[in-house]
Amino acid sequence: MKFRLPLRLDNIRLRNKMLIVYFFCVLFPIVLTNVVFYQATTNNVREQRIQDISRALEQVRNEFRAEVDAAIRVSDVFVSDYILNDILEKEYEGPVEYVEAYDSYFRKVLNSYTPMYTSMQNIKIYLDNPTMMHSGAIGRLTSEVRESDWYRELEEVVGSTPVLLRTVREHVIQPSERIRDTFVIVRRMNQFRFLGQNKWEKIIKIEIRPQAIEQVFSNLNLPGYLYLLDESGQVQYTTNPEIDWKRKTVYYHELAKPVDAIEFETDYRSAVYLNGWKLIGVIPEEEVLREVRESRDFILWLALINLIFSTTIIYWVTRSMNVRLVNILRHMKKVKNQQFVPIETPETLDEIGQLQNEFNRMTMQIKRLIHDVYIADIRQKSLEIERRKAQFNALQSQINPHFLFNSLEAIRMRSLIKNETETAQIIHKMAKLLRSSLTWTRDMIRVEEELEFIDCFLEIQKYRFGERLTYRIEVDPEARDQLIPKMVFLPFVENASIHGIEPMKGGGEIDIAIRCLEADLEFSIRDNGVGMRPEQVQRIYGYLENETEELGERIGVQNVLYRLRMLYGDRIRLFIDSAPGRGTHIRITLPMRRETAGTEEV
């Protein structure tokens, strides 16, 4: 008797085929191996993971204490320095005598410790000796200082015991920047009161750099959060960005914790100044069990046992699909070569059979639509090109008011302040810029002409700022005849002057360089102004990536970058290096174009 399969697989739905594969080749082997695996390894790996996290938490605790101990060791030197205390106790007859004492010893003491401990950003001694001058390292105990939080905290401490607390950093003027993000060590300098060196009240205050503390707490490479608590349970530091611990008083017991989180706790029992402080790590349970789920190597041995049984079933199921899928793929390759040939095979009832029928209908429909859609697409592309041209012309006209407003405002403010008639020369340069910007007969000009615009603008700013502004321009001789879009470098010079140098009380410098680099022209501008925040830098990079439909009111740099992208596409390269407080460096690289005998040579 001939054996026949009870079912023809070609007529079984694909979902049912997958169920067969799932039950016989996936479900049974995985259930069997996982039961054995989890029973044998879960508890051991979980305990090991908990120990690793606890050790990492202790490392963070020790590193934080090391930062605090370094500041306390420095304060010990100042408190126990008899010569320094004698200088602070002495009453000086005049500033000259004080400066001599300051330079002879006190300055050397400061300079010897500041470079050694990079985690400390400010060392200052407050005292009420009226004969000493207020300087960077010496401060007076004014009524405002006595009302500060760190002074009130120190009043509760007896002797010269150091106190660790969090307060506002020194020299912060803006109210928006007065955030309590800095750890400080404060203590009284009354070590030599038995020798008569206690006439004046003396307090030393050492600030620990917030970046050093942030680096310590970022060493724990886990997705959870760390909480540093004082003896009252108040959060003194946390890596949780949702908690505003710098401006508000936050207690740990008031925080909402994830339901599946595990808490790890360690304290500072051995340090007097950290008595009662705790370090708590809140780690998701999933992180603790992550290695449990990743440590399944030996499950492969169990899978091999099931492989022999499952291979026969998988082969039986997949062969039914493979033959017809290969046939469909072969016809799809014909479609790729524009051969729209339908599949000529008997119809079947499963999903592959339906796919074959839909492929035949799709092939015929593509063949009919390709001619209709192709012509409409050509028309749409033509309209898009015309729209781009109109938008490009509109962008050119938008640059002029933006630049002229800043230039005329510079002349007006200078004239009002000086109240003089010596502005004839600068007005002449302004008129030259005005004529050039209003007469836009050519979009491409020589670098030499663009340098004339830049020189006029910088002379106007020089007239406005006086000695506060200095600039240098270096241009390769072969770069002067290169063609560039009109007024493409000038907005960057304007930004460096107005937004970079103008906010600086002491003024600054602007360095401009234009060089030829093989087939490219490089424009570089560097200033030592206020710099830009990271989000501002990213926004400028975004002008080269995003489609710009509405430019808004402030269009200088955005307009220029959009014009460059429309002219050069991906061949333009932009580099920005800037950070608050250390200036801005911008470098733009364009394809080189040279004007020869009335034509452009690329």
Residue 267 lies in a domain: yes
Question: Which of these three, 288, 306, 339, is where a domain ends?
Answer: 288
Question: Which domain covers residue 452, as residue numbers?
Answer: 383-601
pLDDT for 362 equals 84
Residue 300 lies in a domain: no
What is the number of domains present in the chain?
2
Q: Answer for the pair 17, 317: CB distance below 8 angstroms, yes or no.
A: yes
Residue-wise pLDDT tens digits, 415-451: 656 665 556 566 666 766 666 665 556 778 899 988 8
Same domain? 395 vs 273 = no
pLDDT band at 584 (very low <50, low <70, confident <90, very high): very high
Residue 430 lies in a domain: yes
pLDDT band at 1 (very low <50, low <70, confident <90, very high): very low
pLDDT band at 411 (very low <50, low <70, confident <90, very high): low
Q: What DSSP character marks residue 234?
A: B
Pairing status of strand 202-208 against strand 520-527: unpaired
Residue-wise pLDDT tens digits, 242-293: 999 988 899 999 988 888 888 898 888 777 788 889 999 998 887 777 766 6
Same domain? 416 vs 556 = yes
- pTM for the whole thing? 0.47
3-state secondary structure of 443: coil
Same domain? 428 vs 279 = no
Q: Return the residue matching tokens 């000009």.
A: 445
Highest mean pLDDT among 7-16, 403-412, 455-464: 455-464
Same domain? 257 vs 393 = no
pLDDT for 366 equals 79
Residue 11 lies in a domain: no
Same domain? 263 vs 395 = no
In whole angstroms, give the CA distance from residue 488 to residue 107: 50
Residue-wise pLDDT tens digits, 209-237: 888 888 888 876 777 899 999 989 999 99
pLDDT band at 459 (very low <50, low <70, confident <90, very high): confident
Percent of the chain clearing pLDDT 70 (strictly above) = 77
pLDDT for 297 equals 64
Same domain? 282 vs 403 = no
Q: Is the pLDDT of residue 496 over 70?
A: yes
Residue 406 lies in a domain: yes
Same domain? 281 vs 418 = no
pLDDT band at 511 (very low <50, low <70, confident <90, very high): very high
The string of DSSP letters for 447-490 reads HHHHHHHHHHHHHHHHHHHGGGEEEEEEE-GGGTTBEEETTSSH
**Lowest mean per-residue pLDDT among 112-116, 191-195, 260-264:** 112-116
In whole angstroms, give the CA distance from residue 123 to residue 107: 12
Can you tell me the mean pLDDT for 368-387? 68
pLDDT for 509 equals 92
Residue 299 lies in a domain: no
Residue 371 lies in a domain: no
In whole angstroms, give the CA distance from residue 95 to residue 115: 28
**Lowest mean per-residue pLDDT among 34-38, 56-60, 315-319, 493-497:** 34-38
Question: What size, in residues, is the chain?
Answer: 602
Residue 210 lies in a domain: yes
Q: Answer for the pair 524, 462: CB distance below 8 angstroms, yes or no.
A: no
Whole-number Cα distances in Å, 433 to 390, 437, 454: 25, 6, 9
**Lowest mean per-residue pLDDT among 28-37, 45-54, 240-249, 391-400:** 391-400
pLDDT band at 295 (very low <50, low <70, confident <90, very high): low
Q: Is the pLDDT of residue 571 over 80?
A: yes
Same domain? 276 vs 420 = no
In whole angstroms, give the CA distance from residue 306 to residue 283: 37
Same domain? 130 vs 248 = yes
- CATH code for the domain in which residue 439 is found: 3.30.565.10
Q: Name beta bridge partners: 577.
A: 585
Question: Which of these three, 288, 315, 338, is where a domain ends?
Answer: 288
**The CA-based dihedral angle spanning residues 279, 284, 286, 290, taken in that order and rounded to the nearest 10 degrees:** -30
pLDDT for 304 equals 74
pLDDT for 597 equals 44
Q: Is the pLDDT of residue 549 over 50?
A: no
Question: Which of these three, 288, 309, 340, is where a domain ends?
Answer: 288
What backbone torsions phi and psi does residue 43 show, to the nearest 5 degrees?
-65, -45
Q: Answer for the pair 440, 396: CB distance below 8 angstroms, yes or no.
A: yes
Can you tell me the mean pLDDT for 64-83? 87
